[in-house]
Amino acid sequence: MGRFVPLILLAVAVGLYFLLPYNLAFLTRILIMVLLVLSLDLVLGYAGIATLGQAAMYGAGAYAAGLFAIHVWADPLAGLVAGAVAGAILALVSGLVILRAQGLTVIMLTIAVAQICAEIANRARDITGGADGLRGIRMDPVLGLFEFDFVGQVGYWYALIVVAVIFCFLMVLGRSSFGLSLRGIHESPARMGAIGVSVYWRRVAAYTIGGAIAGIAGALTAQITQLVSLETFAFVLSAEALIMLILGGTGRLYGAAIGTFVFMWAHHTAASNDPFNWLFVIGAMVLAVVFLLPKGLISMPAALTQIFKGGRDAGT
């Protein structure tokens, strides 16, 4: 069954394009968030690095792709590379320091890095546009063929393909000895060290790869919305990404995708119906999942099967 989940997710994404043709901007935002949450899953769910600053790499990727498009080359794929490189460099440089620490200190440092980045972007007004945001991003057509359109059709397909490619990459990475060692580090760093793995450098590598993916997510935002604001570094973004991951289930790529979709859909629906109390719905949903499905929504089929089996056994 597990091997069909990516295909099911892909089919849902394609189906939504046809079912909700007037909500493509929102659906594209979900896809971009899926990418950010996937990057967080690699860092937190696999490598066990507690972070509340993944937005730092996302923002760095967004600004890098935006500036690259304005000043160097407006090709979307080249912009993605620029975003990935910016995210990876920031993650590498900050990770080398942050990952020497443990526990709560790591969380505090990751928050600090995102805040520092936000302040730099705010102060460097001449380059970044400061609080007004980076404007004037005009992208070339994707592959020289597909122009970004007002409705968002090209943006949606572009984001979907990028997310699918990154998803496949992470699936391969997760099954490689590198990915397995990250899971081992998450469960027992001391043991992993004793079987020859440098825990520190593996964590730095995972943080850097996660940073590159977050940078790509930021680059997609910059290219599709053609605007980069200081909000890309916001603490709220990192926190929401964490909630989405916990909601879906950490350490499972599908969990990241499902958690993001459910969170953003609930957010969208609740906020449209009750703009003042929508947070109550989100809070209740997170509480319900944490208490009833501690391993996230991804564990729901197994939990339901167990309940069904239990009921059937009790009946016999």
Partner 1 sequence: MAEPLLELSAVTAGYGPTHVLRGIDLSLTKGERLAVIGRNGAGKTTLLATIMGLTRLHGGKVRLHGLEIGAMAPFRRNAAGLGLVPQTRDIFPSLSVEENLLSAMRGDASLDEAYTLFPRLKERRRNGGTQLSGGEQQMLAIARTLMTRPEVILLDEPLEGLAPVICEQLMAAFEELATDGTRAVVLVEQHVEAALSFATRAVLMSNGQIVFDGPATELRERPDLLHRHVGVGIET
Positions that interact with partner 1 (CB under 8 A): 177, 180-181, 183-184, 187-188, 190-199, 251
Q: Which is nearer to partner 1, 198 or 273 (CB)?
A: 198
Q: Helix or strand or coil: residue 208?
A: helix
CB of residue 250 vs partner 1: minimum separation in angstroms?
11
CB of residue 163 vs partner 1: minimum separation in angstroms?
25
User: What residues pair up with 142 in beta bridges, in sequence order?
Assistant: 146
Residues listed for the chain: 316
- Token digits for 26? 């929102």
Q: Which is nearer to partner 1, 178 or 235 (CB)?
A: 178
- Token digits for 188? 């027992």
Q: Which is nearer to partner 1, 2 or 144 (CB)?
A: 2
CB of residue 247 vs partner 1: minimum separation in angstroms?
19
Among 20, 15, 126, smallest CA distance to 70 is for: 126
First to last CA, the chain: 28
CB of residue 201 vs partner 1: minimum separation in angstroms?
9
CB of residue 209 vs partner 1: minimum separation in angstroms?
17
Among 159, 128, 145, 118, smallest CA distance to 64 is for: 128
CA 131 to CA 204: how far, in whole Å?
32
**How many Cβ atoms sit within 10 Å of the Cβ of residue 122?**
14
Among 196, 251, 201, 267, smallest CA distance to 33 is for: 267
Q: Which is nearer to partner 1, 177 or 272 (CB)?
A: 177
CB of residue 300 vs partner 1: minimum separation in angstroms?
18
Q: Which is nearer to partner 1, 53 or 189 (CB)?
A: 189
Cβ–Cβ < 8 Å for 212, 88: yes
Q: Which is nearer to partner 1, 144 or 196 (CB)?
A: 196
